[in-house]
Amino acid sequence: MSEEIKKNAVYTTREAEKILKISNSTIKRLLKKGLLKANKVGGQYRILGLELLKMVSPEIEQNAVRKYLKVKKKVVKEINKW
């Protein structure tokens, strides 16, 4: 049974390991290389669910980037009118 990843939830490294089905050393390697973004809280990493979703489904990030660029283009166009 797989667990649903909630994009706004905050996960520990242990929870992320279970969700992604990877070892502790793999999580550490992903964090160290910056492939998995996390914040350190009290000496422990906390990972946003959105970051886990990016690991599982890179197309989510690509869609977000496309939408961001589309909005940015509209904003720049409006600012240039001023």
Number of H helices, E strands in the chain: 4, 3
Per residue in 1-48, pLDDT tens?
A: 457 889 899 999 999 999 989 999 999 999 998 889 999 999 999 999
Angstrom distance (rounded) from CA 82 to CA 70: 19
What pLDDT does residue 2 have? 58
| Beta bridge pairs of residue 40 | 45
Q: Does residue 60 register a pLDDT over 90?
A: no
Arithmetic mean of pLDDT, 37-66 = 86
Stronger pLDDT, 76 or 61, i.e. the higher one: 76
What pLDDT does residue 14 have? 96
Looking at domain 10-81, does it have CATH number 1.10.3470?
no
What pLDDT does residue 41 have? 92
Taking the complete model, does pTM exceed 0.85, yes or no?
no
